[in-house]
């Protein structure tokens, strides 16, 4: 009888624990995604950044047309890198908040602070921005960027 | 035999048709949401706009701190309306694209064109912007704005 009660309690507790693990796992995966995104950006490693994008990704930047599709985003990033050839990222910090997940979609917003050392003795670029991100989990269970929008942060 | 084959075909077709209906229904709901959002903004009806926001909504505007929570968003909108007292929206067009839905989250991006008639003989404001939206379906099955980010569109 005691043994049977123990089994019943174990069985009753198994579902909530399992359900909790299912809910929490995507958050940890998205935090791991954010670390990869931060490192790839800090290293200005466009190939590593593009690995994090979904095929049908879209990025929205101020005063620009939407850049639609992974190939177009890669071309845009390479054009920017070419324009600032010889630059390197001295600092890139990403702080993300308010992760929400449902099914294969997730969203969060992030603030970023970047210091870029520019070539030819130009003064370093020190900028702060914020981003709204939407991630999609693919058939391979990997989270990738589906939507990104950036704008500058407040002055202080 | 012929009758049984027909039943088998009907049974086989029932699941895909049902599944398709489940997938398509949220898109129609989100298009209906967009129409309400467009109408409420055109009428500068802050109460109707706030009805479309989730309690834990966040809006991200350029050069400003994130506005977090429905109460803070309502206060910000009322402050803006107060600043341009006497203004009215002559035109507000919203065009949304690339709806993606999974579970209780959905995302889309929209372009908007607004012409605002200002009081005291000031010239009308004619502006274009784009937005990344994330919607969440509540326990009552209604879709509400969970995240909104806006920036100006390209010049042309």
If DSSP states are collapsed to H, E and C, what string results for chain A?
Answer: CHHHHHHHHHHHHHHHHHHHHHHHHHHHHHHHHHHHHHHHHHCCCHHHHHCCEEEEEEEECCCCCCEECHHHHHHHHHHHHHHCCCCEEEEEEEEEEEEEEECCEEEEEEEEEEEEECCCCCCCEEEEEEEEEEEEECCCCCEEEEEEEEEECCCC
Rounded percentage of chain A residues whose pLDDT exceeds 90: 73
The chain B residue lying nearest A132, using CA atoms, is: B149
Does residue A16 carry a pLDDT above 70? no
Contacts of A55 in chain B (CB under 8 A): none
Q: pLDDT per residue over B38-73, tens digit each? A: 999 999 999 999 999 999 999 999 989 999 999 999
Has residue B66 been placed in a domain?
A: yes
Please say if the pLDDT value at position B23 is more than 80: no
Q: What value of ipTM does the predicted structure carry?
A: 0.82
Structural domain for A120, as ranges: 26-152
> Best interface-test mutation with A: which of B67, B68, B100 has the largest number of A CBs within 10 A?
B100
Q: Report B:19-58 residues touching A (Cβ under 8 A).
A: 56, 58
Bigger pLDDT: A15 vs B42: B42
Residue B64 touches chain A, beta carbons under 8 Å: yes
What is residue A18's predicted lDDT score, i.e. its pLDDT?
47
The helix/strand/coil state of B146 is strand
User: CATH number of the domain that A43 lies in?
Assistant: 3.10.450.50
* Nearest CB to A154; choose among B65, B106, B155: B65
CA gap B80, B149 in Å, rounded: 17
Q: How many CA atoms lie within 13 A of A136 on its CB side?
A: 20
How confident is the model at residue A109, as a pLDDT? 98
Taking an 8 Å cut-off on Cβ atoms, the answer to whether B107 and A146 are in contact is yes
B18 has a chain A CB within 8 A of its CB:
no
- pLDDT for B1 equals 42
- pLDDT at residue B15 above 50? no
Contact of B60 with chain A, judged by CB distance below 8 Å, is answered with: yes
Structure confidence by residue, pLDDT tens digits, A115-156: 999 988 899 999 999 999 999 999 999 999 999 999 999 765
**Number of structural domains in chain B:** 1
Residue A35 resides in a domain: yes
- What pLDDT score does B25 carry? 86
């Amino acid at each position: 009888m005691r043994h049977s009660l123990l089994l019943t309690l174990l069985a009753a507790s198994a579902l909530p624990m399992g359900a909790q693990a299912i809910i929490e796992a995507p958050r940890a995966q998205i935090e791991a995604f954010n670390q990869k995104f931060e490192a790839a950006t800090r290293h200005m490693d466009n190939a590593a950044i593009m690995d994090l994008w979904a095929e049908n990704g879209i990025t929205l930047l101020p005063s620009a047309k939407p850049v639609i599709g992974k190939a177009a985003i890669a071309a845009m990033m390479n054009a920017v890198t070419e324009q600032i050839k010889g630059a390197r990222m001295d600092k890139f910090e990403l702080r993300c908040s308010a992760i929400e997940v449902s099914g294969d979609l997730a969203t969060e917003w992030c603030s970023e602070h970047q210091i870029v050392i520019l070539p030819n003795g130009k003064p370093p670029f020190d900028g702060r921005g914020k981003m709204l991100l939407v991630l999609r989990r693919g058939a391979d269970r990997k989270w990738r960027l589906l939507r990104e929008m950036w704008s500058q942060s407040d002055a202080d």
